Structure 1
Amino acid sequence: MTTTTTTLLDPAVVATLQGVSTATITTVLLKQGLRRVWMRGPKPQRPEQPRTVGRAFTLRFVPAREDLATPASWASPRSTRAAVEAMPAGCVAVIDAMGVTDAGVFGDILCARMAQRGVAALVTDGVVRDLAGVLGTGLPVWSQGTAAPASVAGLTFVNWQEPVGCGGVAVFPNDIVVADGDGVVLIPEALLPAVLEHGPEQERQEAWIMEQVQRGATLPGLYPMDAATLARYRAEHGG
């Protein structure tokens, strides 16, 4: 069993990232050369879910095999139940379900336990089941939707805290995950300083640009800012 330790994010880092949209993060990482950081498929299952930040705690499923994907497997030491009990507070559970949408990876009881343990959110490129109960736990969920059948109807759970693929993105334990209304973005640990440095400033610049647009400004030279516009922005912001 993999025993990768999940380290907590500094509260100041969490606070900063909660003020930076996933759209902005993708742009910052694009400038760093990364294009495959937005997970295709996971969507917020409650429209008003707040932006959520945490380190990735990964879980991996493979295709169902009849001798392994059985209700009896839920009592195995290597099960989703055991994985839930290994999740630390503040983590984001990232579940590789291979995009399967006809078998729910987690339901209300597992999500209730995750909420009790202080897990920040559940993210999967698959689906959940018992949606009303899941939402009732208060656990924020990003998934492709819902399905009534249990996971063993289409998937075999194999392990946790190892590299996975979720929505076309390679996710390693302890990567940083940010999720909001636009979806879910991954920040590699090594590129976190770049996002913390450039993300908040990009948000400030784009808010200023929006103000100019609302006043009737035209886009050429404004978005992106040319040298004269950038100088005006900096003069107004003391930069």
Structure 2
Amino acid sequence: MSLSEHVIAEVAKADRNDLNSLYKHLRVADVADALDGIGYFNLTLMSPELRPLWSGMRFWGQAATIRCVPSNKPMWKLDSTQDIVEAHRLWFERYGHKNLPDDLPPGHVIVMESGGGPEVGFWGSENTMAAVGKGAVGIITDGYCRDTGEVVLQRGPVVARHRGRTIIPGRIEVVEVQGTIACGGVQVRPGDMVGSDDDGVVVVPQEVAEEVATHARAILLADMRARSRHYAAQGKPADASIDADAVLAYYADL
């Protein structure tokens, strides 16, 4: 179990005052159908080019946003092995670096607009673990992730457009955090609900997030019951994907 899955698993029952908990069992497909039903047809589906790095990844959370642009400044030649090891520190000392706030609530999803710059592994195995340690349950970038073998091994919850190799200095810089961004062809604002699973990524505008969760829950339960009948007819052993009773129990207090 990944750290992000552990954060979600701690929620025993849905709480109408905890938006993240309303999305716990929902699939991206359920939410996409619910968005269609209220008139958001195809408006908030991120590009299918943005994919989870490993199969079985699933997360929901409210967005915390980062906007990057190409740096248009080269990295200078470094003088020693130690300077090369500390290239990020030297770059940030000269040009600065914007970070997300330290007081973000647990259960957030980091969404990054990469600015269409060159190949750069802004996200990698170490800073992904650091973000999860600060409460992130997912990271979505329309750019690159590197160290992807380690990210997969660690079950780091990263969705990326590309796998990359290079580091930040001389390639990309953060120009804004917690503003409105574009990622995967979709507008994302801090507080919007964002989710990913094997099917891709969807954004739910915060103004309709509770309503969408209600519709999506009904869609999920209807699908579970229909598939349960197929399981029975075909003699297939039951599994958690058709356990409608567990889902009903989780949402019972709403």
TM-score strictly above 0.5? yes
d(CA) in 1 for partners of 2:38 and 2:189?
Answer: 19
Deviations, residues 9-40 of structure 1 (Å, cap 9, x unaligned): 99634333121111111111112221221211
Could you list the runs of 5+ residues in structure 2 that have no partner in the other structure?
Answer: 1-10, 77-86, 235-254
Counterpart amino acid of residue 219 in structure 2: Q
* Contact persistence 1:55–1:92 (CA under 8 A): yes
Q: What corresponds to 1:130 in structure 2?
A: 147
Evaluate the alpha carbon distance shift between residue 210 and residue 159 of structure 1 in structure 2; reply closer, same or farther with a 3 A threshold: same
Please say if 1:63 is aligned against 2:81.
no
> Of residues 161, 173, 192 in structure 1, which corresponds to 2:190?
173
* Contact persistence 2:74–2:171 (CA under 8 A): no
d(CA) in 2 for partners of 1:63 and 1:146?
Answer: 18
d(CA) in 2 for partners of 1:29 and 1:68?
Answer: 45
Q: What corresponds to 1:33 in structure 2?
A: 39
d(CA) in 1 for partners of 2:34 and 2:124?
Answer: 35
Q: What corresponds to 2:137 in structure 1?
A: 120
> Of residues 212, 227, 230 in structure 2, which corresponds to 1:195?
212
Evaluate the alpha carbon distance shift between residue 211 and residue 132 of structure 1 in structure 2; reply closer, same or farther with a 3 A threshold: closer
Please say if 1:20 is aligned against 2:37.
no
> Of residues 98, 123, 130 in structure 2, which corresponds to 1:106?
123
Aligned-pair distance for 1:152?
4.0
Q: What corresponds to 2:92 in structure 1?
A: 74
Moved more, 157-166 or 84-93: 84-93
SS of the residue 2:225 aligns to: helix
SS of the residue 1:123 aligns to: strand
Evaluate the alpha carbon distance shift between residue 134 and residue 144 of structure 1 in structure 2; reply closer, same or farther with a 3 A threshold: same
What is the aligned length?
Answer: 206
Q: What corresponds to 1:83 in structure 2?
A: 100
> Of residues 46, 51, 56 in structure 2, which corresponds to 1:48?
56
* Contact persistence 1:84–1:113 (CA under 8 A): no
d(CA) in 2 for partners of 1:100 and 1:67?
Answer: 13
d(CA) in 2 for partners of 1:153 and 1:182?
Answer: 34
Deviations, residues 84-133 of structure 1 (Å, cap 9, x unaligned): 74654221000111455722122222112112212111111111112233
Evaluate the alpha carbon distance shift between residue 92 and residue 76 of structure 1 in structure 2; reply closer, same or farther with a 3 A threshold: farther
* Contact persistence 2:69–2:116 (CA under 8 A): no
Could you list the runs of 5+ residues in structure 1 that have no partner in the other structure?
Answer: 1-8, 217-239
Please say if 1:94 is aligned against 2:111.
yes
With structure 1 as the length reference, what TM-score do the two structures score?
Answer: 0.74
> Of residues 163, 170, 182 in structure 1, which corresponds to 2:180?
163
Q: What corresponds to 1:222 in structure 2?
A: none
* Contact persistence 1:164–1:171 (CA under 8 A): yes
